[in-house]
Amino acid sequence: MATTQQEASPQVRRKPRLVAAYGSSSKPTSGGWETFSWYFLRVSGVALIFLVIIHLLLMHVINDVSATTYCFVVARYQNPFWRAYDLLLLTLALPHGLNGLRIITDDYLHSRGWRLVVQSGLFLSLLFFWLMGSMTIITFQPTPGVCPTTHTAMVSR
């Protein structure tokens, strides 16, 4: 009974991902984190379409970009709605983008160690930038005497 070298030591190979046909759903069926991630990308993507279009219209079309100064932000952040809006935009956009990068690393980094390193870095950068952004939005206090009150009344419509 002769066995070949290949039969004696089978190599463990990572199964290639099956790429779904264009337009079909490749929703994970296992539940857990991957299913949550799949739903989050879709829901946040739809929400971000509207949030980003409104942001672009307000900050770059209706208002002149050169008028976006510290005093403009002070006037804008006197209304709690704009703080909540910016916090929602940050909370959806940052995880949406980094979750997309996580999926790309799953697809193209075959070494388990490198995937762990890169995905850990993505998670830490998500945590760092979300904490910095949310702390800035929530705790922003204007410097007294820097902005005239007329500008504040004009922008806070």
Structural domain includes residue 54:
yes
Number of domain units in the chain: 1
Q: Summarize the confidence of residues 11-26 as an average pLDDT.
A: 54
20 found inside a domain: no
* Helix 33-56 and helix 80-108, axial crossing angle in degrees, nearest 10: 130
Amino acid letter for position 19: V
- Residue 43 sits in which domain range? 35-155
pLDDT digits (tens, 9 = 90+) for 66-84: 888 999 999 999 999 999 9
Separation CA 87–CA 93 (nearest Å): 10
Q: What is the DSSP letter of 112?
A: H
Q: 88 near 51, Cβ under 8 Å?
A: yes
User: 24-62: per-residue pLDDT in tens?
Assistant: 457 777 778 889 999 999 999 999 999 999 999 999 999
Name, in order, each residue with C-beta under 8 angstroms of 153's C-beta and a sequence gap of 6 or more.
75
Cβ(112)–Cβ(35) below 8 Å = no
Total-model pTM = 0.74
d(CA 74, CA 67): 13
Is the residue at 131 inside a domain? Answer: yes
Q: What is the CATH number of the domain that holds 76?
A: 1.20.1300.10
Q: How confident is residue 4, by pLDDT bands cut at 50, 70 and 90?
A: low
Q: Is the CA virtual torsion 28, 30, 33, 36 positive or negative?
A: positive
Q: Is residue 81 part of a domain?
A: yes
Q: Terminus-to-terminus CA distance in the chain, angstroms?
A: 87
Buried b / exposed e along 89-115 (16+ C-beta atoms within 10 A): bbebbbbbebbeebeebeeeeeeeeee
Amino acid (1-letter code) at residue 132: M
Q: CB within 8 A of 91, min separation 6: which ones?
A: 130, 134
Phi, psi dihedral angles at 17 (to 5 degrees): -70, 140
Q: Residue 133 corresponds to which tokens in the numbers above?
A: 């952004």
The answer to whether residue 17 is domain-embedded is no
